[in-house]
Each structure stands twice: as C-alpha cells, then as structure tokens.
Structure 1
C-alpha cells in the first residue's frame, strides 16, 4: 500500500467526486480510479458506491475514513514540524523563479534580506517550468517561488506581488502578421495560440489567453509547451503565436521570433507563493520584506 493511495482515498471521501479529486490531487481521473481500486483490493471490499451522479462511502469505507483521517493529520503535522526544525537549523531559504527578469528582482530582494537575516542562507535554486510552475514547490524542492498570479490553490499561500510587466505577443518572423506594429486582444481569436502546458492551472493560463475576448469571440489553444525555449522554438518555426510577458522579449531575443505590443490584457503580476504546510519563519520574513518594498514595474505605468 502506498501513501498516495491513502491521500487519494481521503480526498475522495471529502470531495465525493472523482473529477474534483483528480484536479485537487493533480492526477488524471484514471489514476484516481486506479489508486482507489488498489486500496479496495488491499482491504478486500469496496470502499465506495458509485453512480453517474455521486460517490458514497460504504460502511467499511466510512469506518476506514474515521480511523485514517485523524492519523493522517497527525502524520502530516509531525512531518511539517520536522521540516520546520530542519529548515530552522540549516538557516536555509530556497527560492524558485519563473523567468530571468523575475530572478533579477528576487536577487535584489535577497540582498536586502541578507542585511537583516545574515544567518539565513537565502539563494535562488531553480527556474520553474511554465508548463508546471508549482511542481517544485509541491515537491519540496523550493521553499518559496515567484510566479505569475493569480494562484488559487488550497494548499498554497499567496504573498505580495514583486513585479508588474506588460503582456506582449511573440510571433513568427516569417509570418506576414509580423509586419503588424501591435496586436489587440481580439486578434487572439484569429491566431493559432501556443500556451503553457496542461499541468498549469487552467485559470492561470486564462490570464494570458481568455476563453472569450471582451468582444465575445472565442479563442482556442492550438498547442502547448512546458518551457519558454520549447514554445519559442515552435513559434520560430512559423506555426504559432503566444501571449507572453515582456521579460521574454528582453531575455530571449531570437532571429526567427518578433515581439509586438498586445493591447487589451491586464499587465502580468508576479508574486510570491509558498506551501501552507511547509511555511517557515524565514519564508514569512522574506514575504514581509517583499511587501514592504515597491513593486518593480516595467510597464511604464504607475506601480501596482
């Protein structure tokens, strides 16, 4: 029996819905079904009754939930306390970032943080992938990450915004549309759009590609990419366009890609996010510092 089987069982008991459980666990519905079936085989009897409309616990399933849930909470709390003690003893703050422009903003914050917290080893450890920006945080490889907002995840805490930048269009240099001086949000309905990979939260992708434009026109995702470089390579090949943040143009110039202004979308906001279960005093202190400083604004407008 695996830990993931127990977690899936407990979440399904709360949600009573396979699709919602899959979304919350960041698994496919088929994987949720597989894990539940494996646990039922281990127990030797069904734990749920299933219908087209709902999922209910059997009597055995209800008793198992009542026994497991308090123990599960105790184990998670013990693990959290152990992780907090380890982080405190090590004086470590591992920071992830989305995009090199964001890393520069964080580096400036880290320099200020070191003045008041010299015993904490705060450092940038990795760049997260646009296709699954929250994965390193959930896996415990970073303590805090700076990514595009919004972030609406029940297991994560959102902190202050640290950067504000314009959204632009990345277009293939070979396309006749590359001659356009600027694009409008309504143009997105006519373009083959490549966007962040499917592991990214849907609402997060919709901040760059709304399902419906303000004029009522439907947009569509033509392709996805998990990294900036992969997306830009496909754009440069002449097939796709992408709404991106302005730092992409500054840090990823390419002869086969042109960048143009994009009117009609709100600026991109990048902010701090961390795990609710692994929150430490070092994370809180870094967030307080970030909140006390002006937002880095590259849009030419007033600060957010």
Structure 2
C-alpha cells in the first residue's frame, strides 16, 4: 500500500466513533459526500469493505474493526508527538525548577503548578526548598530557574514578577509567651517582643520582612538569637527565646502545639512574587508566570 493519506485515516477513525456520516462530516468540517469519497478511496487501497452502510445504520466490518483497533493507538501517539514538538518549538517543554522558602509553597502555588502542567503537556515544575538565610543564592548560582519570595525585593540582577497571595501577618510566639492568649497584638506592641535575627547573605532590608528592627513609630524592637533556617527558627520560638513574623498560609503550614500565631494589627499584608535572574528568562518561565498571574 503506497501513498498513505492521513485524511482518509482520520475519516475512518472518526466514523468508527460516530457511526454516522453526518456527525463525522461535522467533526471534520467536511461535506457528507467528501466523507463517503474518502472512505471509498481507503477501501480501494485496502481492497475490501471497512464499513457496512444501510439507510438505517453504519457499522464496521470485522476487517474494519481490526483496522480501527490497530490504528487508534498509533494515531494518538502521532498526535502526542506533534503536540510535544509544538511545545518544544515554543520553548515551553521541559522542567522548570522553582525555589521556595519553607511554607511559601502553599495552596495557591500548588494550584499554579497543576494548572501549568495541564496547560503545557510535556512540561513540569520541580519545587526546591531554598534556605531562609540566603533567598537569592540559588537563583544566582543557577540552581533554580525562579523562586517564590516575599516582597519587597530590590536586587538589580533579579526580575520581580507580579505580586500575588496577599495575606495578613502574624507573629509566631511560644505558647508560654504573655501574648500567646491574645486575639491580636498591635504593631507598636512588637517593641515588647524579641524578634529573631536571620543571619547569612540575605540583605538587611529583606531580613526586616520577618524581623523588623523598629516599629512604624520608631520604637526599637529587641533582637533575639540569630537563626539560619526555618527549623532553627521554630525551635528557638518554641523555647520562648524570640518571635518571627509569618504570613497566614505559612503559619498554617508550621502549626504546632508549642507555638501560637497571633495576628498583628497595623502591619501591611505580606505578598509573594515569582523572581528570576535577569539573564535567565525563558519562554517556559514566562508561561509559568502567566499561569500564576491568572490564579
């Protein structure tokens, strides 16, 4: 058999599903006469009837049934191959490595990852935890393609995407702290708390997000012990040696019996953003950024 005609095969497969010339024609945007013509042409190539046709019904012959069963997997595989090639040509196919701080990969982020996977077959997202003490290091070292980080961020070599996930801020305190039974605390009352210091390469302005040094009115906030990781911070907080500011989803993520999360009145909501290196932007990254922006 030579001169294989994909249109004939497509007509055969659709007719095998619909068992109706009119519906087959509608799906293929053809006339019923053209559908009949394509089927007759294929039957001539095969050398036998593939469908029995009467005025009341259409059904495949035994040979037609066999051909349909053998063609469907191959046809679906070809469609997947073409879809994969199209995605690769657009530069979307492949794995995107996205860094996150402990607790920041919450429901909104997971929803974005799943939506991206559905919209871009052949693409995937790998979530990689990055250290609290060095939020930008993995980006600059090329260990991740982007990172989900708290705002504000002011780094000349980094691009900050649209803000998302605006959330109330809470102070994490030991269950033994005097404020532990409070429904909320005022921002100026942070001057009566010790906030943990974050050591490492993170710039001072970024460390202020979780551990400000002064209240909005300029009252100094005492410093607690220095920590480098989220797990260190939680252990020190539970021991009643200091506190730290958390957004609400992160508070829920790190819920435990020996730590309470008390809402802070007077602080602006926290926000997240997808951040990437200025020299590392790709179509895959742009597609994921659009997905996050649509949620």
Within the candidate set 96, 99, 103, 1:100 is matched to: 103
Q: 1:111 to 1:210 in 2, by over 3 A?
A: same
Within the candidate set 187, 190, 193, 1:191 is matched to: 193
Which residue in the other structure is 1:257 paired with? 259
Within the candidate set 226, 229, 233, 1:227 is matched to: 229
d(CA) in 1 for partners of 2:265 and 2:197? 18
Larger Rg: 2
User: 1:32-181 maps to which residues of 2 (within 5 A)?
Assistant: 91-120=94-123, 122-181=124-183
Q: 1:107 to 1:146 in 2, by over 3 A?
A: same
Q: After superposition, give the CA deviation of every residue in 1:22-81 in whole Å (9 maximum; x if it has no partner).
A: xxxxxxxxxxxxxxxxxxxxxxxxxxxxxxxxxxxxxxxxxxxxxxxxxxxxxxxxxxxx
8 Å Cα contact 2:92-2:283 kept in structure 1: no
Q: 1:258 to 1:89 in 2, by over 3 A?
A: closer
Find the residue that maps to 1:219 and give its secondary structure. coil
4+ residue runs over 6 A deviation? none
8 Å Cα contact 1:155-1:275 kept in structure 2: yes
Number of paired residues? 207
Which residue in the other structure is 1:269 paired with? 271
Within the candidate set 271, 286, 289, 2:291 is matched to: 289
Residue 118 of structure 1 deviates from its aligned partner by 1.5
Residue 103 of structure 1 deviates from its aligned partner by 4.2
Range moving further from structure 2, 205-214 or 280-289: 205-214
d(CA) in 1 for partners of 2:215 and 2:232? 26
Residue 90 of structure 1 deviates from its aligned partner by 6.9
Residue 104 of structure 1 deviates from its aligned partner by 3.1
Find the residue that maps to 1:269 and give its secondary structure. strand
Which residue in the other structure is 2:52 paired with? none
Find the residue that maps to 1:181 and give its secondary structure. coil
d(CA) in 2 for partners of 1:279 and 1:259? 37
> Normalising by the residue count of structure 1, what TM-score does the alignment of the two structures yield?
0.62
8 Å Cα contact 2:190-2:221 kept in structure 1: yes
RMSD: 2.3
Residue 271 of structure 1 deviates from its aligned partner by 0.8
User: 1:232-243 maps to which residues of 2 (within 5 A)?
Assistant: 232-243=234-245
8 Å Cα contact 1:208-1:244 kept in structure 2: yes
Q: 1:216 to 1:101 in 2, by over 3 A?
A: closer
d(CA) in 2 for partners of 1:204 and 1:287? 22
